[in-house]
Amino acid sequence: MNPPITIIGAGLAGCEAAWQLAERQIPVTLYEMKPERFSPAHTNPDLAELVCSNSLRANRPTNAAGLLKEEMRALGSLIMEVAENTKVAAGNALAVDRDLFAREITEKIEAHPLITTIRREITSLPQEGVVIIASGPLTSEALTTSLEPLVGKRLYFYDATAPIVAADSIDYEKAFRANRYADEGEEGDYINCPLDESQYLKLIKTIAEGDLIRSRDFEDEKVFEGCMPIEAMVERGPLTLAYGPLKPKGLKDPKTGREAYATVQLRSENQAASMFNLVGFQTRLTFPWQEKIIHLIPGLEEADILRFGTMHRNTFIDAPRVLNQFFQHQKESSIFFAGQISGVEGYPESTASGLIAALQVAALVNNRKLFTFPKTTALGALSSHISNDHSPNFQPMNINFGLLPPLEGKKRRKRNRLLAYVERARRDLKGWCDSNSIVLKTNYETTAKNL
pLDDT in tens, 291-332: 999 999 999 999 999 888 887 777 889 999 999 999 999 999
- pLDDT over 70 at 443, yes or no: no
For position 222, what pLDDT does the model report?
60
- pLDDT over 70 at 134, yes or no: yes
CA distance 94 to 90: 6
For position 182, what pLDDT does the model report?
80
Same CATH fold, 164-309 and 5-158+314-435? no
Are 329 and 335 spatial neighbours (Cβ–Cβ below 8 Å)? yes
For position 217, what pLDDT does the model report?
46
CA distance 420 to 145: 45
Are 93 and 83 spatial neighbours (Cβ–Cβ below 8 Å)? no
CA distance 5 to 22: 10
Q: Which amino acid is at 447?
A: T
Q: Which amino acid is at 121?
A: E
Q: What letters, b where the CB count within 10 A reaches 16 and e where it falls short, cover 135-171?
A: bbbbbbeebbeebeebbeeebbbbbbbbbbbebeebe
For position 442, what pLDDT does the model report?
76
* Among the four given CATH numbers 3.40.50.720, 1.10.1060.10, 3.30.43.10, 3.50.50.60, the one describing domain 5-158+314-435: 3.50.50.60
The dihedral built from the CA positions of residue 97, 102, 103 and 108, taken in this order, carries a sign that is positive
User: Which residues share a beta bridge with 191?
Assistant: 177, 266
In sequence order, the 6+-apart residues with CB closer than 8 A to the CB of 310 are: 40, 41, 160, 161, 213, 284
CB atoms within 10 A of CB 222: 13
- pLDDT over 60 at 216, yes or no: no
- pLDDT over 60 at 446, yes or no: no
Confidence of residue 210 (pLDDT cuts 50, 70, 90): very high
What mean pLDDT is predicted for residues 189-214? Answer: 94
CA distance 188 to 92: 11
For position 1, what pLDDT does the model report?
67
Helix runs in 119-221, H state only: 141-151, 197-209
Q: By percentage, how much of the chain surpasses pLDDT 90?
A: 68
Strand residue runs (E) in 319-448: 335-337
139-148, 234-243, 284-293, 342-351: which has the minimum mean pLDDT?
Answer: 139-148
Phi/psi-derived region of residue 245, left when phi > 0, alpha when psi is between -120 and 50, beta in every other case? alpha
CB atoms within 10 A of CB 430: 16
For position 215, what pLDDT does the model report?
55
Phi/psi-derived region of residue 133, left when phi > 0, alpha when psi is between -120 and 50, beta in every other case? beta
Taken as a whole, the chain contains a residue count of 451
Class level of CATH domain 164-309: mainly beta
- pLDDT over 90 at 17, yes or no: yes
The dihedral built from the CA positions of residue 146, 150, 153 and 155, taken in this order, carries a sign that is negative
CA 7 to chain centre: 20
CA distance 252 to 241: 18
- The shares of helix, strand and coil residues in the chain, as percent rounded to the nearest 5, are 35, 20, 50
What mean pLDDT is predicted for residues 160-183? Answer: 90
For position 391, what pLDDT does the model report?
65
pLDDT tens digits, residue range 351-373? 999 999 999 999 999 999 999 99
**DSSP string covering 22-52, please?**
HHTT--EEEEE-TTTS--TT----SSS---S
- Prediction pTM value: 0.81
- pLDDT over 80 at 52, yes or no: no
Confidence of residue 241 (pLDDT cuts 50, 70, 90): very high
Q: Which amino acid is at 439?
A: V
Confidence of residue 43 (pLDDT cuts 50, 70, 90): confident
CA 376 to chain centre: 21
Which residue ranges make up each domain of the chain?
5-158+314-435, 164-309
- pLDDT over 60 at 113, yes or no: yes
